[in-house]
């Protein structure tokens, strides 16, 4: 890492030095559950995406897997009412499951509906044995709100947890909604407010997709530098990634 990179905030270092995102060769919906008992048995490491309604969660997931309509999007907050699981395979052979959790904080749903969603999310986050990474999303324009803090507390060390500790990646979405001159300041303010590292993301800024993918794969411990045996054409990607690792 160069001296200039060493002086930069965490998220900017990754934007400068991260390799391209892993190429997704397949991504498919595998299951949906409105109750915890409807979840399928775990098959792969799971990465769960959580955040307030209208934080841009579905659009973010579609951008990561390079599909326009895999994860349902809507202009109306609170439309995601179930946990949805998507199996993903990258060009270098890594396999994982992305999990879309219902958005929280939408006041126009009934109290009983919001309670049911909260119980569903809580059950998944505390008991899902395959859960390895939680991607916690916050709108960069609104910052961390009380319900976001509650989510992080729940993931951290809550009574009743029956799964192993998980990694948490903090993501500030909708970065493109701010003028370029304000983005760094907003990210810095978020870091100071929370004492945590944050990754900026926008569906309109492909470099931020690379940053987040690199974070996810690193936290999962998946090796993106070695293609599986017989994977023709992957050697170029592997060499490029390895060169980035050495920088």
Q: Is the pLDDT of residue 227 over 90?
A: no
Tokens 């993903």 belong to 88
Q: Would you say domain 3-241 falls under CATH 3.40.50.300?
A: yes
Mean pLDDT of 187-202: 94
What Cα–Cα distance (Å) separates residue 205 from each residue in 78, 98, 210?
Answer: 25, 21, 10
The average pLDDT across 80-97 equals 89
Quick check: 168 and 216 in contact, CB under 8 A? no
Q: pTM score, two decimals?
A: 0.79
Band the pLDDT of 213: cuts 50, 70, 90.
very high
Highest mean pLDDT, choosing among 126-135, 149-158, 219-228: 126-135
Are 118 and 66 within 8 A, CB to CB?
Answer: no
Of 235 and 128, the one with more pLDDT: 128
**pLDDT at residue 80 greater than cutoff 80:** no
What whole-number distance in Å separates Cα of residue 211 and Cα of residue 2? 18
Distance set, CA 114 to CA 27, 56, 217 (Å):
29, 19, 32
Pairwise CA distance, residues 84 & 191, whole Å:
30
pLDDT, one tens digit per residue, over 155-188 is 987 777 889 999 999 999 999 999 999 999 999 9
Query: Average pLDDT for residues 98-124, to the nearest whole number?
Result: 77
| Per-domain boundaries in the chain | 3-241
* Mean pLDDT over each residue of the chain, to the nearest integer: 79
Q: Would you state the pLDDT for residue 12?
A: 41
Report the distance separating Cα 129 and Cα 133, nearest Å. Answer: 11
Residue 192 pLDDT greater than 70, yes or no: yes
Instruction: Read off the pLDDT of each residue in 77-81 and give the average, rounded to a whole number.
Output: 56
Q: Are strands 131-139 and 199-200 parallel, antiparallel or unpaired?
A: unpaired
Q: What is residue 114's predicted lDDT score, i.e. its pLDDT?
A: 62
Tens of pLDDT, residue by residue over 37-53, are 999 999 999 999 999 98
Class of residue 203 by CB neighbours under 10 A (exposed 0-12, middle 13-18, buried 19+): middle
Sheet containing strand 83-90, edge to edge, reads 24-33, 83-90, 95-100, 46-51, 131-139, 167-173, 199-200
Q: What is the CA radius of gyration of the chain?
A: 18
């Amino acid at each position: 890492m160069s001296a200039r990179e060493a002086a930069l905030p965490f998220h900017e270092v990754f934007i400068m030095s991260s390799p391209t995102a892993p190429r997704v060769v397949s991504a498919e919906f595998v299951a949906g559950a409105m109750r915890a008992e409807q979840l399928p048995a775990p098959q792969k490491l799971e990465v769960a995406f959580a955040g307030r309604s209208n934080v841009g969660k579905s659009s973010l997931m579609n951008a990561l897997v390079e599909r326009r309509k895999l994860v349902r999007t809507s202009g109306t907050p609170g439309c995601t009412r179930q946990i949805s699981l998507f199996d993903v395979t990258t060009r270098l052979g890594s396999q994982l499951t992305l999990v879309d959790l219902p958005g929280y904080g939408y006041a126009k749903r009934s109290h009983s509906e919001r309670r049911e969603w909260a119980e569903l999310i809580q059950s998944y986050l505390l008991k899902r044995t395959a859960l390895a990474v939680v991607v916690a999303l916050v709108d960069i324009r609104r910052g961390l709100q009380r319900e976001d803090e509650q989510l992080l507390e729940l993931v951290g060390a809550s009574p009743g947890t029956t799964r192993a500790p998980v990694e948490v990646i903090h993501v500030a979405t909708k970065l493109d909604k701010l003028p370029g001159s304000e983005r760094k300041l907003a990210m810095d303010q978020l870091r100071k407010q929370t004492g945590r590292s944050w990754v900026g993301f926008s569906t309109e800024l492909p470099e931020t997709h690379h940053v987040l993918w690199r974070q996810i794969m690193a936290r999962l411990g998946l090796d993106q530098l070695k293609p599986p045996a017989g994977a023709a054409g992957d050697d170029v990607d592997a060499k490029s990634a390895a060169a980035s690792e050495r920088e």
